Chains A and B, each alone.
Chain A
Amino acid sequence: AQSVAQPEDQVNVAEGNPLTVKCTYSVSGNPYLFWYVQYPNRGLQFLLKYITGDNLVKGSYGFEAEFNKSQTSFHLKKPSALVSDSALYFCAVREAGGGNKLTFGTGTQLKVEL
């Protein structure tokens, strides 16, 4: 079975500092990995995905994520955080060729402070 772990319930960072939101995954075969963001009282919005190819994936709003197969991780990063980045972030995984059901992590609340 596929699974995702987001070990931090909350991440606090000062505006202008780099941020990292951690995600590790488990699948039987090759993974498709996704990051979504949820603002208060809104649905989830797609940020970026890793399917194959370059391990560093760039997405919306200046976010990027690094796929590390040996560590089974897909951490979300941004070089310089903004207060407007404060939101709930979800990592998700599905197994390539295993249907299109995504399994989501429990979410990480990112708080960016002035």
Chain B
Amino acid sequence: NAGVTQTPKFQVLKTGQSMTLQCAQDMNHNSMYWYRQDPGMGLRLIYYSASEGTTDKGEVPNGYNVSRLNKREFSLRLESAAPSQTSVYFCASSEVEGRGYGYTFGSGTRLTVV
């Protein structure tokens, strides 16, 4: 009963470095999401994938790219990290839309860009 698994849990990057955050779910969910959480701002949607093979921008996509590798996996890439991307990143998944399902969240990746 792993649910949504995110790796790594912690990461420190230097400005300009790149990295990929990994996310995998084992619930056969169609939709997957990447959020960032910042103090006083709640969760903001970066990118989402409504189904395998599709991705769309959310509220704050600049500086990020995503790949829906297959139904299970949805990765988030920072091509050139900036201090403004210091945040906690959460991946989530959900069942098909239209049925009022909520999300299942991973435990998060705490990223610091120095």
**Contact yes or no, A104 B100, CB < 8 A:** no
List which A13-61 residues lie within 8 A (CB) of chain B. 32, 34, 36, 41-46, 49, 51-52
Specify which chain B residues have a CB less than 8 angstroms from the CB of A97 in the assembled complex: 98
**Contact yes or no, A46 B104, CB < 8 A:** yes
**Contact yes or no, B102 A99, CB < 8 A:** no
Q: Chain A, 73-114, contact with B by CB distance < 8 Å: what is the 0/1 string?
A: 000000000000000001010001101111111110000000
Specify which chain A residues have a CB less than 8 angstroms from the CB of B105 in the assembled complex: 36, 43-45
Report the interface size class on chain A.
Answer: 20 to 34
Q: Chain B, 62-87, contact with A by CB distance < 8 Å: what is the 0/1 string?
A: 00000000000000000000000000
Kindly provide the distance from the CB of B27 to the nearest chain A CB, expressed in whole angstroms.
Answer: 13
Specify which chain B residues have a CB less than 8 angstroms from the CB of A51 in the assembled complex: 100
Query: Which of B42, B44, B94 touches A100 (beta carbons < 8 Å)?
Result: B94
Specify which chain B residues have a CB less than 8 angstroms from the CB of A52 in the assembled complex: 100
Q: Is the interface of A mostly helix, strand, loop or mixed?
A: loop
Given known A-B contacts A106-B41, A107-B42, A99 and B107 have beta carbons under 8 A apart: no
Kindly provide the distance from the CB of B32 to the nearest chain A CB, expressed in whole angstroms.
Answer: 10
Tell whether B114 is near chain A: CB-to-CB under 8 Å: no
Task: Using A90-B42, A100-B96, A104-B44 as known contacts, list a sample of 10 further A-B pairs with CB atoms less than 8 Å apart, ordered by residue number in A.
Answer: A34-B102, A44-B90, A44-B103, A46-B103, A100-B31, A100-B97, A101-B33, A103-B45, A104-B35, A104-B42
**Residue positions of B touching A, CB distance < 8 A:** 4, 31, 33, 35, 40-45, 48, 50, 58, 90, 92, 94, 96-98, 100-108
